Amino acid sequence: MNCFICKDNLSYSFSKQFNEYDLGNVDYYSCNTCGFTISSNHIQLSEKKWNQLNIDWHTENNLKEKNPWNRDERYFNQSIMIFLLIKFNIIKGSNFLDWGSGEGGFSKKLYDLFSIKVNCYDKFVKPSVFPLAEAELKSNSYDFVVNNAVFEHVTKRETLDEINSFVNNTGILAIHTLVRESIPKDPNWMYLLPVHSCFHTNKSMDLLMQQWGYTCSVYNENAKLWVMFKEDPKLFYSQINDINKIIGYDYFKFKVGFVDFWKD
Ligand SMILES: [Zn+2]
């Protein structure tokens, strides 16, 4: 098996026993170069089984808890972050897409607070706000594409490329997932959920950005969102710096490449 981020070899890393959803013993493999980690069991599931696992887990999880993992706080903070980037003309245009939006919680928050419209698309759930059907999605045409908790539910490279394919030539991509310096070889790690098939590192995300033509990124720890740009980083840095001065602190963490905020 090869890493679908950098193509280097994957080596066996650790296993975890799941006593639910017929998963059984799951083996995780890590990339020797970029640390990207993936479950060999999940990538071998048929599309039908994989889809069903996601539907079952999300249905059960959403019924159990109203606000899993402080999602509402995160959507609120993401709305502020995106509003600021639009207000200061960093995010331009108005054709926005939330890919894998679920019910559309982020889009609803952004609209209710700031009257900013983000179209919603989800393979498994019908969004309750601004829904788009798969046939309505247009590649290379969105000024801003966001995804929340999607990158850890991926079993093939094509899905990541599909998400990015909707961003237009000058567009911006925003990602919320958990990213660390390295993935712990620990079956008790809290992020090893039945529906989490892969895990990204600072290095693997940096490589992915480069492969897709993004030069720099900003991160805010309350929003837990990385926003990636294709601009000249020098020009862009002074813009972000000016905004941070107005806010009064380093609200936007900036880096050429991927903001490696979480060092483990
Ligand atoms: Zn790799």
Q: Averaged over 219-235, what is the pLDDT?
A: 95
Q: How far is the CA of 74 from the centre of ligand 1 (A)?
A: 29
Q: How far is the CA of 119 from the centre of ligand 1 (A)?
A: 32
Q: How far is the CA of 174 from the centre of ligand 1 (A)?
A: 21
**Spatial distance between the Cα atoms of 44 and 24, rounded to a whole number of angstroms:** 13
- 11-15, 54-58, 128-132, 183-187: range with lowest mean pLDDT: 54-58
What was the pLDDT predicted at 58?
A: 80
What is the per-residue pLDDT across 14-23, written as a single tens digit (0 to 9) for each?
Answer: 999 999 888 9
Domain 70-256: CATH superfamily, name plus number? Vaccinia Virus protein VP39 (3.40.50.150)
Q: How far is the CA of 173 from the centre of ligand 1 (A)?
A: 21
Q: How far is the CA of 52 from the centre of ligand 1 (A)?
A: 28
Q: How far is the CA of 203 from the centre of ligand 1 (A)?
A: 8
CA distances from 214 to 39, 226, 235, 257 (A): 27, 12, 14, 7
Q: How far is the CA of 157 from the centre of ligand 1 (A)?
A: 12
Q: How far is the CA of 109 from the centre of ligand 1 (A)?
A: 35
For the chain, the first-to-last Cα distance in angstroms comes to 26
Q: How far is the CA of 235 from the centre of ligand 1 (A)?
A: 30
Q: How far is the CA of 135 from the centre of ligand 1 (A)?
A: 32
pTM: 0.95
pLDDT at 69 over 80: no
CB 120 within 8 A of CB 107: yes
Give the domain ranges of the chain. 70-256
Q: How far is the CA of 223 from the centre of ligand 1 (A)?
A: 27
CB 85 within 8 A of CB 254: no
Residue 84 phi, psi dihedral angles, 5° rounding: -60, -45
What was the pLDDT predicted at 101?
A: 96
Q: How far is the CA of 32 from the centre of ligand 1 (A)?
A: 7
What is the per-residue pLDDT across 125-156, written as a single tens digit (0 to 9) for each?
Answer: 899 999 999 999 999 999 999 999 999 999 99
Q: How far is the CA of 256 from the centre of ligand 1 (A)?
A: 20
Confidence of residue 64 (pLDDT cuts 50, 70, 90): low
pLDDT at 68 over 80: no
CB 17 within 8 A of CB 23: no
Q: How far is the CA of 156 from the centre of ligand 1 (A)?
A: 13
Q: How far is the CA of 114 from the centre of ligand 1 (A)?
A: 39
Q: How far is the CA of 208 from the centre of ligand 1 (A)?
A: 10
CA distances from 95 to 110, 141, 143, 150, 206 (A): 14, 8, 6, 20, 26
For the chain, give the percent of residues with pLDDT over 70.
Answer: 97
